[in-house]
Amino acid sequence: MNVRRYPVAAAVSVIVLLLLWTPLLIVAANAVNRNQLLVGWGGFTFRWFHEAFFDPQIRDGLRVTIVVGALSTAIAVPLAVTGALWWRGASRAGRRLFEALILLNVILPEVVFASALSLLFVQSHFPTGFLAIVIGHSVWNAAYAFLIIQARLAALDSTLEEAAADLGANQSQVFWRVILPELVPGIIGAALIAFTFSFDDVITTLFLGGTAGNTLPVVLFGLIRFRVTPEVNAVGVMVMIFTAGVATLGYLILARVNKGRGGLPIGAL
């Protein structure tokens, strides 16, 4: 962008970048600040990372968060693939209805979805806790995963399936040998989105967790209700590093898959 030609747009862009990155830089600085009260700079230290890593409450919260994220992703992605395959073969009216229901789930505030799901569990006498959190995250993330896989499925060339059928492949063989390999980049992207959304979810976990919903975001939410400590900042930095690592790993996997299969560029996903 030409700064001289678009000064207002350039200024707005700079402001947006500052608002995005300044809080993160403050968190990173406070994570290595020796001053426990965070009222000023007290020197550099890694003490808070050590305390956060060996804090039993935080370690248990991280363990629960990873397990919930992995399980909900393992449930949400197959649901999304199944829904996308049904959508592809449905009538026009069926497609529009299905898309409307999916988009409604995405558009609705999460607090509405979480409260409705909590009410459903209470009325059906389903206990809140770990399993309820997994179900809630799976249902919520399946909508986002569907949108990603749907876009990938819509871009597939139907002539490949027709050619496989002409060569004698049945419907199951067409799916496993033609459709599924082409969906792999979309599935990886959907899995990354589902896991990331589950990893940092607070609202659905609070509504469905009961006394057993001590995921890491809920633990941090409880800690910052009194005051933000350097340990909380250290946990925030570690979460950012972990999330960036997962995203980088996913990007490298997608790049390798697309390079090996000659598929769509990553940006098309």
pLDDT category, 138, cuts 50, 70, 90? very high
Q: What residue segments make up the domains of the chain, in order of their start?
A: 46-268
Q: What is the pLDDT of residues 225-237, one digit of tens each?
A: 777 788 889 998 9
Task: List residues bridging with 33 in a β-sheet.
Answer: 44
pLDDT category, 263, cuts 50, 70, 90? very low
Question: How far apart are the C-alpha atoms of 58 and 72, rounded to whole Å?
Answer: 21
Q: What is the pLDDT of residues 211-222, one digit of tens each?
A: 766 888 888 888
Q: What is the pLDDT of residue 22?
A: 93
Would you tell me which CATH number, out of the four given (3.40.50.720, 1.10.3720.10, 3.30.300.30, 3.40.50.2000), belongs to the domain 46-268? 1.10.3720.10
Q: What is the pLDDT of residue 228?
A: 79
Q: Write the DSSP symbol of residue 212.
A: S
What are φ and ψ of residue 202, in 5° steps? -120, -45
Query: What pTM was computed for the model?
Result: 0.82
What count of other Cβ atoms lies within 10 Å of the Cβ of residue 62? Answer: 21
Ramachandran class of 153: left when φ > 0, alpha when ψ lies in -120 to 50, beta otherwise: alpha
End-to-end CA distance of the chain: 25
pLDDT category, 267, cuts 50, 70, 90? very low
* Coil/strand/helix, residue 44: strand
Name the average pLDDT for the chain: 85
Q: What is the pLDDT of residue 153?
A: 85
pLDDT category, 244, cuts 50, 70, 90? confident
Rounded mean pLDDT, 3-20: 83
Q: Write the DSSP symbol of residue 55.
A: -
Rounded mean pLDDT, 24-44: 87
Q: What is the pLDDT of residue 134?
A: 94
CB-CB contact of 20 with 3 (8 Å) = no
Rounded mean pLDDT, 189-203: 90
With 80 as the cut, is the pLDDT of residue 74 above it?
Answer: yes
Burial 144-165 (b: 16+ CB within 10 A, else e): bbbbbbbbbbeebeeeebeebe
